[in-house]
Amino acid sequence: MSFRNRLRLFFGLIVIVPMVALGFVLFALTARSETGKADAGIVAGGRAAVGLYREEVARARPALRRIARDPELRLAIASGRPAATERRLRRLASGRVRAVELWSPAGERLAHAGSRTAVAAAGLPLVVRGRSRGFLSVSVTDAPSFAYRVNGLTGREIVMVRGGRPLASTLAGRPSAQGLPRDDRLTTVTIDGEKYRGRFVPVTASPGPTVRLGVLSPSATVSDQIAANRLLIACLLALFVLLALISAAFVGRALAGQIATFLAAARRLSRGDFRQPVPIHGRDEFAELGREFNDMSEQLEAKIEEVERKRQELAETIRRVGDALATGLDRRGVVALAVRQAVDACEAEVGRSLPLARGAFAGCEVGKLDGALESAIEAAERDVFTVSPDVGPELIGALEGDERAERTRRAVSAHGPGVHALSIGLRSLVDGPEYLGAISIARHGKPFTRDEEELLEYLAGQAVVSVENASLHEAVERQAVTDELTGLANVRAFLDTLDRELERSRRFGTPLGLVMVDLDDFKRVNDTYGHQQGDGVLAQVAGVLRESSRELDTAARYGGEELAMILPQTDASGAELLAERVREAIQSLPVRRVDGKGSLSVTASFGVAAAPESGSDRMDLIAAADAALYTAKRGGKNRVERAETALTEPFTPHR
């Protein structure tokens, strides 16, 4: 196969094969991305629906308490008159009340009045004349109106099912409950011949059959978007491949002739013929390469013996370079390697590193220092950090911001009776201290040459680059999990920590508290005093959370003005007490105004939840705390609300 054909094949392999692989990857990613966006919308819709459902339950409680105190109803129940009880229930099921039901202690429905599609019922045990008469539940909303409210709020299709029977739907037809999933996982369902991506969440909060609320999104919408994205990707990849093939043909033709010339010259060199030079035409890069090729052939014969002599040194250098790469982010290892290499390469007897900047690296020693060698090294190190007239232009340039000012000083030597030392300062290349430390070597006998000084300067420069790369790497790792404004954990670190603590809570059977914090009227602060003032408020409130947290707690910025606290080994009562302390601290916090005209005060609302009573996974626990926070906001703000316990009813109905 000719060189031209091989070049074309090479271009094809490095362009077409990766493009095909990239196409498959992009096709998979676009499908996963679109499905993920749809699933995220469904999950968010489910959370909104659960929150709205709980709000409806809370809205039914005043009517429940009023009906539970009704004298005629209590008399009819106490006298054991079912007919009178049902008549009274029918009279009470009027106005805003959609349905009233009476359940036995065993979970059987004794009486019903009102709509059969009523949902979001609030209930309580009914005690008449000192005896438990069962369980009374009251609903002020029905399934169709609730479904359309959720539909308007989330933009998703809603299906409500109770006890295997459809209650309400925003779909065109009336779907059957057959074939719908029995759990709350995201899945694909088929309704009236149409496929939907959705999730069915149980939302029952009173006796009776389970009410399951489905949040659905048409699969066809996602499929159409995936198809459109894939078509665009395919067109772009095809265009790129076409351009690459055209370029490959052109470049192959241009290079073939030049390569043939250099191939003939290389064959001559392989036979040991250094006399015939490569013909040079023009002034392009190939002509420059030809000139360099001819210069190389002239020097090659003289260098053969030197290359052989240096071969062993090169092998050792390669080993050391490999070691340096392996320890590139290890500050101690990089500086220690530089000291060892300086001792070996400069034929010194001893060497050491002296750290100055705290935490930059650790000191090390190579060889055994005697009194004379140590005195010489100390003298050289003192001279390194002495400001002399020859560094004046450098210091002036640094003060004036001149980037062309010299940044690397030369190695400094010191001498004693029969001993010689060499030291170089490790100067910072980025913002930070002037010096990170110094590297020094010493020996008996002859002084160090200028070549050895340059080698030490080079090694010191490489050590500084590696040390500061390690510092930057650590800083980037910290920034990846920290919110820049507040200094708290960011939302990604918050979710990872919450998953980890939930797993630990399940494994060891310990409680886990979660507090969601939202600053009251934060938009008014931004609108009145500006976003700079709002940032200052967030930063000071974050400081309160930090000061109130234990070492094992995690305070995070959840988003915007919403903060959160993860409290391991803390139940709901303990989390509520902590939230109250934090609320009082924020209320009494004087926030200085950025315009210097006094200070302002801020308050915050708190939602408290705990695992396992409020939820066993991340989504349920956050939803419970968010619902409690929403209740605190609606209740007047500047208060702490505790999430309702999931399954707090004293009786569990048969299903």
Query: Among all residues, which ones are annotated catalytic?
Result: 561
As a whole number of angstroms, the distance between CA 524 and CA 331 comes to 49
As a whole number of angstroms, the distance between CA 110 and CA 103 comes to 5
Contacts of 80 (CB under 8 A, 6+ apart): none
Using an 8 Å Cβ cutoff, are 194 and 218 in contact? yes
Phi, psi for residue 374 in degrees, rounded to 5: -65, -40
Q: How far is CA 358 from the centre of its chain?
A: 30
Using an 8 Å Cβ cutoff, are 350 and 441 in contact? yes
Overall residue count recorded for the chain in this entry: 655
Alpha helices in 274-399 (DSSP H): 285-326, 331-345, 371-384, 392-399
Q: Which amino acid is at 507?
A: R
Contacts of 565 (CB under 8 A, 6+ apart): 513, 514, 515, 517, 545, 548, 549, 553, 554, 555, 556, 578, 579, 582
Cα-atom radius of gyration of the chain, to the nearest Å?
A: 39
DSSP code of residue 1: -
Q: How many CB atoms lie within 10 A of CB 139?
A: 30
As a whole number of angstroms, the distance between CA 635 and CA 462 comes to 63
Burial of 231 (0-12, 13-18, 19+ CB in 10 A): exposed
Strands 512-519 and 157-162: unpaired
Using an 8 Å Cβ cutoff, are 626 and 51 in contact? yes
Using an 8 Å Cβ cutoff, are 570 and 513 in contact? yes
Structure tokens at 508: 């060891």
As a whole number of angstroms, the distance between CA 96 and CA 119 comes to 13
Closest CA to 367 of 442, 313, 418: 442
- DSSP assignment of 537-605 equals HHHHHHHHHHHH--TT-EEEEEETTEEEEEEET--HHHHHHHHHHHHHHHHT-EEE-TTSS-EEE--EE
- DSSP assignment of 426-488 equals EE-SSSS-SEEEEEEEEEESSPPPHHHHHHHHHHHHHHHHHHHHHHHHHHHHHHHTB-TTT-S
Q: Is the peptide bond preceding residue 612 cis, with omega within 30 degrees of 0? A: yes
As a whole number of angstroms, the distance between CA 454 and CA 249 comes to 48
Residue with tokens 């302002």: 600
